[in-house]
Structures are given as structure tokens and as C-alpha cells.
Structure 1
Amino acid sequence: MNELKPSPALLCANCETALQGEFCHECGQSIHSVLKPVSHMLEDAGDIFFHMDERIVHTVPPLYTKPGFLTLEYFAGRRVRYIAPFRLMFVFCLISFFFMHLAVNAVKFGNGEGGNSDTFGQMAKATTADEVHEIYRSEVRSMLTTQADPNTPGVVKTSLTAVQGMLRDAANRRLSELKAPPIAEPGSGGEDDIKLKHANVLNSEDLQFKVAWLPTAVNARLNEGLDRLKLNFVQASNPGPQQKEAIHRMFEGVFGVLPQTMFIMVPVFALMLKLFYVFRRRLYVEHLIVALHSHAFLFLSLMLLTLLGFARNALAPHLGFVGGVISLVEFAVWIWMPVYLLIMQKRVYRQGWGMTILKYWLIGSVYFWLLLFALTIAIVIGISH
């Protein structure tokens, strides 16, 4: 008679412990292999960062329509149905700034298109003397900005001086064909004698970091950022091909640091809640959850406002009444934002309306100035990009 033999147990690949489920109870390693097709890897990445499953259905509607509901659910231990507070805030922060970035990129900066490399061809095709002077001034101002940059090599500055002479000669030839007076030599004081706005800022020795107690490398890094800030400032102040590029570069830098700034402000806001509600005997982590849900709601609202703005700009020229309806919805969203935060504060901390409104006003005022200070620092860092 054949003996019954137990089937071999599945062992953990890491510690060789017999497995009793999808995870090893000794070391915690999953039985699922990381070696899988790319399609499965993309699904896992989407799940890790966005958790695009049924939890988003249970999370987003109450986040926007039920002030304090998610926070109270989290405090009560009912968490598995909802997206975690930090992940929720993180995703909506990135998405909202992404759409706002698109909205800012749709705005036209600078004077005209600019940046056309065929300057001499443009000069030859100019039909009026004013057009020739405009092309000449635009290009010379761009060259002067490059020459004023202390980081520009000397050989490049010398070559740009020669190019300016060639450009002036080409302009004078076209002006002669148009029977117009020529452009005077630089320094003669004529209307084409171009001076850069704020050019002295680039070479100012007073605007340098020389903090004795800071390491030399830190001072050098700060001065490097300051030099970029001064160059961007001068280029953005002077019309020409480099103006649009400088403004675009500064906006890119600002949007690059705004998410990090908000990640810093969330725990600061939680600390303020801790101080204002110190007698409620709540842990700092509880206040942090309130802050995360509050900011997630604000970022979701900003995202909705940006999308509504896109829709209004697209539909209003063709369907005027639709543009009016969207404007009313935008107004309602703006009103709902402070009302939501007030109701949320009342439901979570369970104080009377008088004390809640007082603390709401105090917390909002302090946080507004702290946020304004943080955003100012972020903008300064961003425009030095």
C-alpha cells in the first residue's frame, strides 16, 4: 500500500521559512516576483503613486463635499477604504501645480515672437525705417545683456562687439535703400544708442554673500544663485530675444520649488493647530492629518478652478451662456473653500462657533503671513534658476 506523503511546502526565497500566505511571517517578503512584464510594472507603479482603485471613489467625493468626514473616519480607525492622507495631498498637489503650470505657459510674455536667428534676413526684408531700427535695437540689447553677464568669456564679449558693428552696417545699408538717415556710432547719444536697464546690478559688488561663519562652498553656491538671479532680472527687464526666454526660465524655476514649499508648510500648519488647540490633548500626528486633508482639499479646489478656467476660455467664444455658467461655478468654488475649512475645523475640534470662528481667523491670519513669506523665498529661489 502506497504511503501518503505531504506535498512540499513553499519556502520563502529570502529566509527559507515555510510560507503560509502571500507574505513570509518571518521576514515579511512577498512571494510575488519583481521579474514581470513591463505592463505589470506600470500597473504597480500607478498603484503605488496614485492608488487608482475603488478607494478613490470612496475618498474624493467626501473630501470635497463633507468637511472633516475623512479626518474623523481616520481617527475612528476606518482607514482601509480611503487613500492615505499624505498620498492624497501629494497627488493633488502635483496635479494642481501641473495644471497651473499649463495655464501660465499659455500666457504670452515678451515683445513678439523674438528669437529669430535670421536677423540679417529680417533686416533685408524690412519695409520701413522704423522696422529696421526695432530689429537693430532688439538684437543689440540682447548682445549687451550677454556682454554684461560676468560669466560670459572675454572672447565671446569681443566677438559680440564685432557682430554689433556688422549688424549696424547691415541696418545702415537697408536704411540707405529706404532713403532714411543712418544709425549713428555707439556713444553718440542718438536714439539708437542703447543702454541696458539695471545693467549695473550684474557687476555690483554690494550684492554678494560674504557671511564669515558660513563655509566657503556655501557662500560660493549662494553667490552663484545670486548671479543667475541678477542675470535673469536684467534679461527680463530689457526687450529683446532673451526677454521671453528669461521670463520663461524664471517661471519654470518658481514652479519647480512650489511643491517642496507646500510640503514644508503642511507640518508648519499642523504645529499651529497644535498650539491653538493645546488644551484639546490631541497628538501632533492628529493635527498633521487635519493639515493633510485640508491641503488636499485646497489643491483639489485649485485644480478644479484651473480646469474650469480652461473650459471657460475654450467655450466662451462659441457659447457665451456656457462661459457665464462656468464663471458662476468658479465663484461658488471660491466661496466654498473658506466655508469648507471653517466647517471642518468646527467638526474635528468640536468647539462652539464663537471660539471656532476666532481661532479660524487667528490661524488663517498667521498662516497667511507665514505662507506669504515662504512663497517669497520660493520665488526668489525660483527666479535664480
Structure 2
Amino acid sequence: MMASPSRPDRIVTTDALIEHQHLENCRNCGAITQGNFCQQCGQATHLHVPSAREFLHEFVAHYVALEGKLWHSLKLLIFKPGLLTREYIEGRRVRYVEPLRLYLSFSIIFFFVIKMSGVEIINLGESERSPQAERAQAALTAPATAPDKAKPGKIESKQIEVQAFGEYSKSLSDRINKVLSLPRDQLKDLAKRTFFSYVPYAIFLMMPVFALYLKLLYLGSGRRYGEHFLFALHSNAFAFLMLSLFVVADGWNFVRFVLLAWLTFYLPTALRRVYGGGRTVTALRWAVLMFLHVITMGIAMTAAISMILL
């Protein structure tokens, strides 16, 4: 009889095959890996060309954060003011969406809702042209020899003239009057396009300023600036979410009232949970914070919308 093949050889071969499958070099950094991810750079070890469905999922998950972590984050963000910030500060982070992604997700949703809802960004009245446009157009079409008793160095009554920037003032004056002389529909469309092009960035740039206000209001608390910035991202993400729901709830007055009431009481409640302190002191800090933030936001939005003139 013929001897049967040696079993240990087959076992060794199988073990070697398993070792070859699980112990290999990472294609990104070259480190030897074992498992599904590289221990050095974190890249997945099992790679393939993604399908169209996987591309779509990655795009949505990256820009809108629609994944399982979102629901855990929403639960705390909406119903437990400040707790999501505390969880992140205390090191419990894996189960939640990153603060910056959360902020960007809800800001994108907010401006999308505003754009699709048809809310008028700037009210230009019911006439075809705004009063400023009528005056500017009359000044532009008036004959150069029209009698005018205006003294040199004074601004004419029918035309906007900028005199504070030397030679550049003539160009800036022409631009202002050109914009104001546009028909109402064109001016409205220009204002809307400028709003959606610049205002989201202006508001985002206010987040470091919001964190700076918190830093000043809580001097001596031992909190680092990064913690204040984290609170700014979470609280403003909540504000974007509530305002989005407010726009969607058009005609539902009671729902809008509840949303605005919760938006009003949310921030002081979150401040107490994250920073501590008594109710009276927290209320005073909240009032100062809102005053400074509203002024800063107004300046930022005005500067953004003024890009129409450029």
C-alpha cells in the first residue's frame, strides 16, 4: 500500500497561507500589518476599487455626517444642552460625530433650506426699483449741464458719492450707483447670490470670535481656548438646526414658538452644564455673550453682503 501524504505538510501550508493573508505590508506606509487596519497610519488593509454606491455613501457621510454616530450626537445636542461638549472634553468621543463636522453639516442644511424655501434675503419693497435705485438712476441719466447749486466738496442729493478714499472714491461711487440703478429683480438676484456666496463663510469665521468671548467671560476658570471653541461649534450647530426647523415649520406657529423658546433657554442651560456657576451669574454672562455675538454677526453679515458693490 502507498503511504498517505503527510498531514503536517498540509497544515503548515495552510498556516503559511493564513499568515500571508493577514501579515502583509501596508500599501500606504509600508508597515507590517495584521488585521483590518494598519497600526501605524490607520489605513484599511483590504482595499478595492470603490463602487458608485460606495462613492455616494462616502460623499454623503463626509459632507452631511449621515451615519450612526449622528443619532447619538443629536440626542445629546437637542435634549441635553452642553452634555455633548462635556462628553468630548472628558474623552468619550468615538460614539459621536466630530464637532467641526457636526457644525458644517447643520450649516449646510440651514443654508440649503433657506435657499429652497424662497425666503427673501433683502426686502426691496414692492416697486420695480428701490428708492435708492430710482435716485441713483435719475442722477446717472440727468444732463451734465443740469442746474445744480451744490457747493464743491459736498455730496450731491441725487447721487451717492464717496469722498473718503482719494482717487479710488470715483470708482467706488460709480460701482455703488451702478448697483443701485439695477432693476429690482436683478438687484434682488444679485443680493441673494452674494448672500449664499459669502455669508456662510463669514459666519464660520465668527466661531473663533465666539470662543474668544467665552474665554474672556470665563477668565480664571482654567478652561483652554480649544474647549471654548468646542462649545462654540456645538452651540452654533444647535442654533443652525433649530433655525432650519423654524423655516421648515412655516405656518405652524405653535411649533415655531416652541423652537424659539428652546433656542432662547438652550444656551444658558448649556453654559451651566459645561462651565458651572450660579443662575444669576450665568444669565449675566449669557446676556453679554449674546450682545457681543449679535453685534459681531451683524458686522460680519454686512461686510459679506457689501461684496455686492465689488
TM-score by length of 1: 0.63
Q: Deviations over 1:127-170 (max 9, x none)?
A: xxxxxxxxxxxxxx99x96xx69xxxxxxxxxxxxxxxxxxxxx
Structure 1 residue aligned with 2:74, among 60, 63, 67? 60
Q: Distance in 2 between matches of 1:86 and 1:224?
A: 40
1:26-85 residue CA offsets vs partner (Å, 9 max, x unmatched)? 444332436322221111111222231221221223212211121111122111221111
Given residue 376 of structure 1, which amino acid in structure 2 is its aligned partner?
Answer: T
CA deviation map 1:186-214 (0-9, x unaligned):
x9xxxxxxxxxx9844xx5737675xxxx
Cα offset, 1:113, TM superposition: 9.4
Map 1:228-247 → 2, pairs under 5 A: 228-235=175-182, 242-247=183-188
| Alpha carbons 2:194, 2:304 under 8 Å: kept | no
Which residue does the alignment assign to 2:49? Answer: 35
User: In the superposition, relative to structure 1, how do residues 343 and 208 fare at CA in structure 2: closer, same or farther (>3 Å)?
Assistant: same
Partners of 2:78 and 2:172 in 1: how far apart? 40
Q: 1:278 to 1:106 in 2, by over 3 A?
A: closer
Corresponding residue number in structure 2 for 1:295: 236
Partner of 1:206: 163
The letter for the 2-side match of 1:252 is: R
Alignment of 1:1-385 (within 5 A): 1=6, 3=9, 4-5=12-13, 6-7=16-17, 8=20, 9-33=23-47, 35-104=49-118, 200-201=159-160, 204=161, 206=163, 228-235=175-182, 242-309=183-250, 312=251, 326-381=252-307, 383-384=308-309
- In terms of mean alpha carbon deviation, does 252-261 or 297-306 score higher? 252-261
Q: What's the RMSD between the two structures over aligned residues?
A: 3.3
Amino acid at match of 2:217: F
Evaluate the alpha carbon distance shift between residue 17 and residue 346 of structure 1 in structure 2; reply closer, same or farther with a 3 A threshold: closer
Which deviations, in whole Å up to 9, do the C-alpha atoms of 1:204-232 show, x marking residues without a partner?
Answer: 5737675xxxxxxxx8xx99887554422
Aligned residues of 2:128 and 2:184 also touching (Cα < 8 A): no
Q: Secondary structure at the match of 1:333?
A: helix
Aligned residue pairs, count: 277
Q: What is the rounded CA distance, in whole Å, between the counterparts of 1:350 and 1:110 in structure 2?
A: 47
Residue 97 of structure 2 aligns with an amino acid whose one-letter code is I
Report if aligned partners of 2:25, 2:32 keep a CA contact under 8 Å in 1.
yes
Cα distance in 2, alignment partners of residues 26 and 35 from structure 1 = 22
Question: Shift of the alpha carbon at 1:106?
Answer: 6.7
Which structure 2 residue ranges, 5 or more long, are not aligned? Answer: 1-5, 147-156
- Structure 2 CA distance for aligned equivalents of residues 29 and 254 of structure 1: 39
1:23 Cα deviation after fit: 2.6
Whether the aligned pair in 2 keeps the contact of 1:232 and 1:247 (CA below 8 Å) is: no
Shift of 1:384: 2.8
Could you tell me whether the CA contact under 8 Å between 1:232 and 1:250 is conserved in 2? no
Paired letter, 1:86:
L
In 2, the alpha carbon distance for the partners of 1:247 and 1:291 equals: 32
Which letter maps to 2:47?
S
How far did residue 257 of structure 1 move? 1.1
> What one-letter code is carried by the residue in structure 1 that aligns with 2:223?
R
What displacement does 1:274 show? 0.7
Tell me if structure 1 keeps the 8 A contact 2:103–2:237: yes
Consecutive unaligned residues in structure 1, runs of 5 or more: 115-140, 150-186, 188-197, 211-218, 236-241, 313-325
Assess if the C-alpha contact under 8 Å between 2:99 and 2:234 holds in 1: yes
Q: Using the aligned pairs only, state the percent identity.
A: 29
- 3-state DSSP of counterpart to 2:241: helix
